[in-house]
């Protein structure tokens, strides 16, 4: 009985994640059933929908009811949008979809923030209570803390996915999915459910009705991507996190400036290996079942500007923000009503985060000055509107990650980096140069800037970021650098190895990828055994969760 209970009952200490053996046992069982029904599309979609729900239950517990709520409501809203004859009715249904989805997202991601703000402004003593945890404790004997609401795993990803579906139906880019089961499968497909990539309906839904095919090349590619992702995540990302990054960021003042700076650059390596590693595994697992997920990373540390970086990093989110925020706000064509609505929302958020009502008249003054400038100097109107749209998109992207000044500053700095470069490239004498030194400098500068902004992304508090910057600027400890390099030599070796491989040309990467794919099956298995053995030899602490699970 205990064995069956462990299989079918949610255990928060043993979620189904790619780095645990229980996931691969689960996947093997899923594939076993899949080989029986894969030729019948309707049965296949129902089967994968059910196992995806089970996967989410084992990963997020009773929060899978939130997933079901988003799935059912947006399925029927999509049909209501499509059937509506008048544009006004279509807009009302779209607004309902956005309100419901963002309402759920806001409740789980911004609950403490909103409660603390209300208490501070009105002198109340409201407390956060999670009724789902209360019911779970009563029905299933769990021991959740009733005063602590944790966001459902992957809520930001599947929420954005369902919002984009409603908007695409409204824009007539896709027709509504006829079957609730098929739509549920699209929303909940387990490889990408908890950390993306965010999948558009136009890309994925047509695959639901295609005949299953898997060539020898596709099988080899899926196998390769899984091994590649595990190596990135566990061998490189987790090792440097446990042995340097987590220690330093937990208490920056206890470490030298050199160690703080090393941890900061190490975090850029870690977050890439962690997140792109997850994406590699997700794409590989989906491919073995005959489904294609969109590419989410394209060697982002090869970018020569901040703008280019965001075209290469977390592509599914960047393109989502562009298509559903930046362009509706006017993009590079100027402002719109949505621009001012978004600006108001952001400024209200900033006021609430700061807890300072005095900011309201300041913001009103700034907005008035901008309005006057565009009124009396029409020539600068387009430039101002475009850059405001861009800055707001990046600020909202920061707030997507969480409600704190840390994420606001991180998003704002990235937006500022894009805006400044837009002006700089107009006067730079090297903008059109193809010399390798110029390219190397651009890549190094962009990588360094992106790393610098992550002080606020990774930092555990504003005080911690100040301590890190202080140590780097006043206590670098140059005489101790050689001994610290020796002490952390494994960490530095893995960081340099990861960056060197990252900066290899695409043609080189394709060659060793295709070499692996061309190996006979027994050689692939042999290579996999060696890789997995090396990975688990490097595990020096408990398995680390994927960074983007928290978003």
- Give one DSSP letter per residue of 62-88, joined into a string: GGHHHHHHHHHHHHHHHHHHHH--SHH
pLDDT on residue 7: 67
Same-domain status, 17 and 81: yes
Q: Are 40 and 30 in contact (CB under 8 A)?
A: no
From CA 5, how far away is CA 10, in angstroms rounded? 9
Dihedral pair phi/psi, residue 45, rounded to 5°: -65, -40
Does residue 117 sit within a domain?
yes
Cβ neighbours for 198, distance < 8 A, ≥ 6 positions apart: 157, 160, 161, 164, 316, 317, 320
Does residue 375 sit within a domain?
yes
Same-domain status, 315 and 383: yes
The residue from 187, 212, 237 where one domain ends is 212
Same-domain status, 410 and 470: no
Range of the domain at 509: 221-297+460-551
The residue from 212, 246, 264 where one domain ends is 212
The residue from 163, 183, 212 where one domain ends is 212
Same-domain status, 332 and 355: yes
Local structure of 373: helix, strand or coil: helix
Same-domain status, 292 and 329: no
Dihedral pair phi/psi, residue 336, rounded to 5°: -150, 175
Dihedral pair phi/psi, residue 385, rounded to 5°: -60, -45
How many CB atoms neighbour CB 248 within 10 A? 22
Instruction: Tell me how many domains the chain contains.
Output: 3
Same-domain status, 138 and 231: no
From CA 457, how far away is CA 451, in angstroms rounded? 10
pLDDT on residue 493: 95
The pLDDT profile of the chain, 551 residues, written as one tens digit per residue, is 555 556 666 666 677 788 888 899 999 999 999 999 988 888 999 999 999 999 988 887 777 888 899 999 999 999 999 999 888 889 899 989 988 888 888 777 776 666 666 666 666 766 665 555 555 555 555 555 545 555 677 788 888 899 999 999 998 888 899 899 999 999 999 998 877 798 988 889 899 888 888 999 999 999 999 999 999 998 999 999 989 999 999 999 999 999 999 999 999 999 999 999 999 999 999 999 999 999 999 999 999 999 999 999 999 989 888 888 777 776 666 666 666 676 777 677 667 666 667 777 877 787 777 777 777 777 777 777 787 788 888 888 887 877 677 888 899 899 999 999 988 888 888 888 888 999 999 999 999 999 999 999 888 788 889 999 999 999 999 999 999 999 999 999 999 999 999 999 999 999 999 999 999 999 999 999 999 888 888 776 556 666 666 65
Evaluated on CA atoms 28, 295, 163, 15, the torsion sign reads: positive
Same-domain status, 197 and 134: yes
Does residue 365 sit within a domain?
yes
Same-domain status, 407 and 520: no
Q: Are 491 and 248 in contact (CB under 8 A)?
A: no
pLDDT on residue 76: 94
Q: What is the pTM of this model?
A: 0.88
pLDDT on residue 104: 82
């Amino acid at each position: 009985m205990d064995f069956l209970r462990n299989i079918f009952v949610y255990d928060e200490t043993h979620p189904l994640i790619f780095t645990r053996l229980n996931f691969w046992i689960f996947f093997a069982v899923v594939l076993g059933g899949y080989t029986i029904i894969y030729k019948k599309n309707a049965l296949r979609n129902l089967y994968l929908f059910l196992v995806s729900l089970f996967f989410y239950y084992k990963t997020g517990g009773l929060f899978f009811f939130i997933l079901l709520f988003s799935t059912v409501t947006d399925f029927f809203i999509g049909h209501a949008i499509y059937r509506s004859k008048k544009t006004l009715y279509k807009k009302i249904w779209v607004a309902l979809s956005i309100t419901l989805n963002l309402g759920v997202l806001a409740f789980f991601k911004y609950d403490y923030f909103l409660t603390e703000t209300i208490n501070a402004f009105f002198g109340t003593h409201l407390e956060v209570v999670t009724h789902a945890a209360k019911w779970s404790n009563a029905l299933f004997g769990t021991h959740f803390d009733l005063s602590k609401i944790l966001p459902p795993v992957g809520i930001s990803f599947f929420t954005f996915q369902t919002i984009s579906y409603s908007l695409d139906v409204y824009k007539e880019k896709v027709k509504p999915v006829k079957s609730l089961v098929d739509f549920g499968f699209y929303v909940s497909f387990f490889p990408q459910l908890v950390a993306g990539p965010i999948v558009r309906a136009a890309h994925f839904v047509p695959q639901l009705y295609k005949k299953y095919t898997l060539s020898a090349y596709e099988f080899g590619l899926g196998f390769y991507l899984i091994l590649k992702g595990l190596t990135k995540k566990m061998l490189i990302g987790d090792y440097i996190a446990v042995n340097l990054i987590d220690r330093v960021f937990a208490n920056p003042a206890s470490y030298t400036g050199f160690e703080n700076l090393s941890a900061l650059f190490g975090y850029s390596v870690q977050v890439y290996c962690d997140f792109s590693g997850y994406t590699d595994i997700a794409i590989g697992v989906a491919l073995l079942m005959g489904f294609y997920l969109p590419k989410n990373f394209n060697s982002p540390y090869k970018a020569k500007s901040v703008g280019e970086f965001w075209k290469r990093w977390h592509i599914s989110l960047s393109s989502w923000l562009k298509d559903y925020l930046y362009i509706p706000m006017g993009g590079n064509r100027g402002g719109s009503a949505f621009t001012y609505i978004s600006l108001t929302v952001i400024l209200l958020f900033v006021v609430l985060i700061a807890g300072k009502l005095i900011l309201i008249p300041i913001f009103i003054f700034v907005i008035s000055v901008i309005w006057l400038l565009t009124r009396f100097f029409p020539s600068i109107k387009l430039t101002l509107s475009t850059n405001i749209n861009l800055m707001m998109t990046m600020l909202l992207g920061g707030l997507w990650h969480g409600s704190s000044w840390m994420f606001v500053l991180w998003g704002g700095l990235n937006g500022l980096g894009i805006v400044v470069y837009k002006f700089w490239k107009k006067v730079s004498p090297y903008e059109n140069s193809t010399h390798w030194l110029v390219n190397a400098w651009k890549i190094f500068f962009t990588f360094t800037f992106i790393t610098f902004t992550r002080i606020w992304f990774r930092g555990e508090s504003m005080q911690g970021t100040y301590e890190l910057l202080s140590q780097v600027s006043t206590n670098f400890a140059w005489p101790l650098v050689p001994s610290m390099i020796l002490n952390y030599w494994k960490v530095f070796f893995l960081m340099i190895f990861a960056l060197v491989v990252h900066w290899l040309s695409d043609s080189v990467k394709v060659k060793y990828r295709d070499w692996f794919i061309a190996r006979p099956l027994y050689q692939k298995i042999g290579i996999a055994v060696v890789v997995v053995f090396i990975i688990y030899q490097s595990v020096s602490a408990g398995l680390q969760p994927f960074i983007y699970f928290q978003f």
